[in-house]
Structure 1
Amino acid sequence: MKIMHLSDLHIGKKVNEYSMLQDQIYILKEILQIIDDEKVETVIIAGDVYDRSLPPNEALELFDEFLYQLSSRNVNVFVISGNHDSPERISYGGRMMTENKIFLSPVYDGNVKPITLNDDYGEVNFYLLPFVRPADIRRYFPDENIENYTDAVKVAIDNMNVDFNERNILVTHQFVTGAELSESEDIIVGGTDNVSGEVFDGFDYVALGHIHREQTVGKDNIRYCGTPLKYSFSEAKHIKSVTILDFNDKGNIEYSKIPLTPFRDMREIRGTYYELTLKSNYENTNTDDYLHITLTDEEDIPDAIGKLRSIYPNIMKLDYDNLRTRGSGTVDAIENIESKSPFELFADLFKQQNNQDMSKEQEEIMRNLIDKIWEEN
């Protein structure tokens, strides 16, 4: 069985007030093309379908179209809710959709039954465990000792009564201990939402969602596929991809990644204003990409972002890296204060604050200003 693992679509997301919807439309079409090219039979979407529990209408319409396109290809589709989703909205209409091979995880009720498919090697059981918190599990298993997220997920799995002699895939959406984070995830401070990877022992494959960087955690078969798009500049150097599994007989899974090419990339560039506006430096790049620009000029450029947007229209962030910004911002006590002139005192203060001396023009302005003040007094 050939399976595609997706997660964290975050349909309807905005990044720095930029709507990502057009980019998401583009990347979902690319994913459909990969499904066709690779002859994928089953698609897993491991949570965070939407970016918020009340998604905008255009987000609902886009996911509806994506499901329709998957259904028209006669592939099996498994979808669970993530921490950004409303479980009730994800599960809505699920019983009717099973007739079209679309399986939506119901709201967790303590009873997770496998959905079984068949291939040349026999049966494959899919267990759909949406994002759960300890309180969700305690509600149905009040006699269990559940103190943290690891306890909660372990109790949920123990009560699935999985036969580990069979081929089993778990689809879930949690933060597994040891996963490498980006800035765009919602993780509880202090890591109290960590789940130990040991609770997944016995499954042939664990299709994870929640973490935005593609990675395995502890074992090759416990895997995050990552987001299909970059959602923060901490992901600028990531190569986004889809994960493909060739699931053969028991214990025999082959993994591959197919890179995704976005409509607009998310990049970081730096240099002086002159360098970044020099045509030879940008003419062979996609200037429509989402950019974080760092200017290295020592002097601030008036209306820099407005001017740069005439070349790079999708600047999301602009900042400076120079002697002034690298300084500590603290002003040390000035030695021999009584022996220094007002100009020398100001020159010392300027250097302390800006990590550089005044220019000749600034010195002249300051001398004239001090002379004028002293004349008037």
Structure 2
Amino acid sequence: MRFLHTSDWHLGRSFHRVSLLDAQRAFLDHLVDTARSERVDAVLVAGDVYDRAVPPLSAVELFDEALHRLAELGVPTVMISGNHDSARRLGVGGRIMGRAGIHLRTDPATCHQPVLLSDEHGEVAVYGLPYLEPALVRQEFDAEQADHTAVLGAAMDRVRADLAGRAEGTRAVVLAHAFVTGAAPCDSERDITAGGVQAVPAAVFDGVHYAALGHLHGCQTVSERVRYSGSPLAYSFSEEHHRKSVWLVTLGAAGEVDAERVDTPVPRRLARLRGRLDDLLGDPAHDRHTDAWVEATLTDPYRPHEPMAALTKRFPHILSLAFEPENGDDDPAASYAQRLRGRTDRQIAEDFVAHVRGQAADPGERDVLADAFDAVRSEAVRTEGD
């Protein structure tokens, strides 16, 4: 059986205020064309279909068009909700769409009920595990702890139990939206930390032949049977060196996996440039970045006069400008955002406590802060789902 594994479309998202709608449409054209030319048996979409819970109408229309085209091809599509999606909204009309071969899996309670596909070697059970917010689904799965490993492990136990009751030789594929230990994140992914623990071990997917993962935007092979497709487009400059693609996976008669990458269209290259303003403007080595989306970081000891205007003349598509003077941390002009880069909300709060009272938070106070952030995050997810 052959299928395309993709994820993290983030329909409706922009890139530094530049609309990506046309680029997303080009990707979906490419996806449909690939499904046709490669004669795939299914398309798997591992979450974050939309960029936010209430997407703009243009994104909804693009999604609707893509589903119609896949249905017309007669290619079954299995799709789960991610942490950016509103599971309830994405799942509306799911049972009716299933009759057309579009299978939406957004309800955690039904994650053990597979979409059954078949080829000349028998059945393939495709299980869709939507994004599982630990605080919201702990009771559903009777998990011992409200963390990602506990709830995802409990969901997989249900999958394995269902699979054990099926005919011998049934192959199994699972879709999930999570952060697996050993994988590499980037700046454009929303933090899904819960209880200070967000990563789950790859072993949680033991017992199935292929795990099609979403959430991380870089295409990655955690193991032969556990892979991220990554996002089809770059959504931050941290993805400058990503090769954007989808996985074309062939599942053999005994569940053996053969996977190859199919590159997706690139709307415009990314370039991260760093140096003094005069060097960025005059160095001929930068000529190749003229047509790229550019993020420039100036290292001049003092802020130049109107640097954005000067840079725009050479790099018409520059989108971001930052300052990191060569005198480093001693520079009072260094931005607050630069000083906080790479720190979690919880770390920032702990730093604030230490700064205000001159004493770091003790372990009990850190637990209180962690619980508070988890409660706010859970409430935000619940509100987005309403």
- Asked if residue 195 in structure 1 is aligned to residue 200 in structure 2, the reply is yes
Alpha-carbon spacing, 1:6–1:302, altered in 2? closer, same or farther (3 Å): same
Partner of residue 129, structure 1 = 129
Paired AA for residue 314 in structure 1: H
* The one of 303, 310, 314 aligned to 2:317: 314
Q: Kindly indicate whether the alpha-carbon contact (under 8 Å) linking 1:175 and 1:195 is maintained by their aligned counterparts in 2.
A: yes
Q: Kindly indicate whether the alpha-carbon contact (under 8 Å) linking 1:26 and 1:262 is maintained by their aligned counterparts in 2.
A: no
1:91 Cα deviation from its structure 2 partner: 1.0
Partner of residue 305, structure 1 = 308
Partner of residue 331, structure 2 = 329
Partner of residue 95, structure 2 = 95
Q: Kindly indicate whether the alpha-carbon contact (under 8 Å) linking 1:110 and 1:137 is maintained by their aligned counterparts in 2.
A: no
Which whole-Å CA distance do the structure 1 matches of 2:276 and 2:27 have between them? Answer: 33
Per-residue CA deviations over 1:272-311 (Å, capped at 9, x if unaligned) read: 5455445965665552x32102345555432221232234
Partner of residue 62, structure 1 = 62
1:44 Cα deviation from its structure 2 partner: 0.5
* Secondary structure of 2:163's aligned partner: coil
Alpha-carbon spacing, 1:275–1:36, altered in 2? closer, same or farther (3 Å): farther
Per-residue CA deviations over 1:211-243 (Å, capped at 9, x if unaligned) read: 1111122x2111111001111111111111111
Alpha-carbon spacing, 1:285–1:52, altered in 2? closer, same or farther (3 Å): same
Which whole-Å CA distance do the structure 2 matches of 1:276 and 1:72 have between them? Answer: 50
- Alignment: residue pair count: 326
What are the equivalent positions in structure 2 for 1:142-157 lying under 5 Å apart?
142=142, 144-157=143-156
- Structure 2's unaligned 5+ residue stretches are 333-386
1:17 Cα deviation from its structure 2 partner: 2.7
- Asked if residue 292 in structure 1 is aligned to residue 291 in structure 2, the reply is no
* Secondary structure of 2:162's aligned partner: coil
Paired AA for residue 251 in structure 1: G
The structure that has the greater radius of gyration is 1
* Secondary structure of 1:170's aligned partner: strand
After superposing the two structures, state which structure 1 stretch, 255-264 or 227-236, moved more.
255-264
Which whole-Å CA distance do the structure 2 matches of 1:229 and 1:124 have between them? Answer: 30
Paired AA for residue 168 in structure 1: A
What are the equivalent positions in structure 2 for 1:27-106 lying under 5 Å apart?
27-106=27-106
* The one of 233, 248, 267 aligned to 1:244: 248
Q: Kindly indicate whether the alpha-carbon contact (under 8 Å) linking 2:6 and 2:45 is maintained by their aligned counterparts in 1.
A: yes
Paired AA for residue 230 in structure 1: A
TM-score using structure 2 length: 0.77
Per-residue CA deviations over 1:104-146 (Å, capped at 9, x if unaligned) read: 114222563111111121110001110112334333344x524
Paired AA for residue 213 in structure 2: L
Which whole-Å CA distance do the structure 1 matches of 2:298 and 2:313 have between them? Answer: 16
Alpha-carbon spacing, 1:307–1:286, altered in 2? closer, same or farther (3 Å): closer
Partner of residue 168, structure 1 = 172
Which whole-Å CA distance do the structure 2 matches of 1:119 and 1:64 have between them? Answer: 28
CA RMSD, Structure 1 to Structure 2 (Å): 2.4
Which whole-Å CA distance do the structure 1 matches of 2:27 and 2:283 have between them? Answer: 29
After superposing the two structures, state which structure 1 stretch, 256-265 or 124-133, moved more.
256-265
Per-residue CA deviations over 1:53-73 (Å, capped at 9, x if unaligned) read: 010111101111111121222
Paired AA for residue 170 in structure 1: V
Q: Kindly indicate whether the alpha-carbon contact (under 8 Å) linking 1:110 and 1:140 is maintained by their aligned counterparts in 2.
A: no
TM-score using structure 1 length: 0.79
Q: Kindly indicate whether the alpha-carbon contact (under 8 Å) linking 1:82 and 1:131 is maintained by their aligned counterparts in 2.
A: yes
Partner of residue 207, structure 1 = 212
Which whole-Å CA distance do the structure 2 matches of 1:166 and 1:187 have between them? Answer: 35
Alpha-carbon spacing, 1:280–1:193, altered in 2? closer, same or farther (3 Å): closer
Query: What is the percent sequence identity of the aligned residues?
Result: 35
Higher helix share: 2
1:86 Cα deviation from its structure 2 partner: 0.6
* The one of 212, 224, 230 aligned to 2:234: 230
Per-residue CA deviations over 1:20-62 (Å, capped at 9, x if unaligned) read: 2222122222333333332222110000000100101111011
What are the equivalent positions in structure 2 for 1:274-293 lying under 5 Å apart?
274=278, 276-277=280-281, 285=289, 287=291, 289-293=292-296
After superposing the two structures, state which structure 1 stretch, 17-26 or 231-240, moved more.
17-26
- Structure 1's unaligned 5+ residue stretches are 331-377
After superposing the two structures, state which structure 1 stretch, 241-250 or 35-44, moved more.
35-44
1:209 Cα deviation from its structure 2 partner: 0.7
Which whole-Å CA distance do the structure 1 matches of 2:326 and 2:106 have between them? Answer: 56
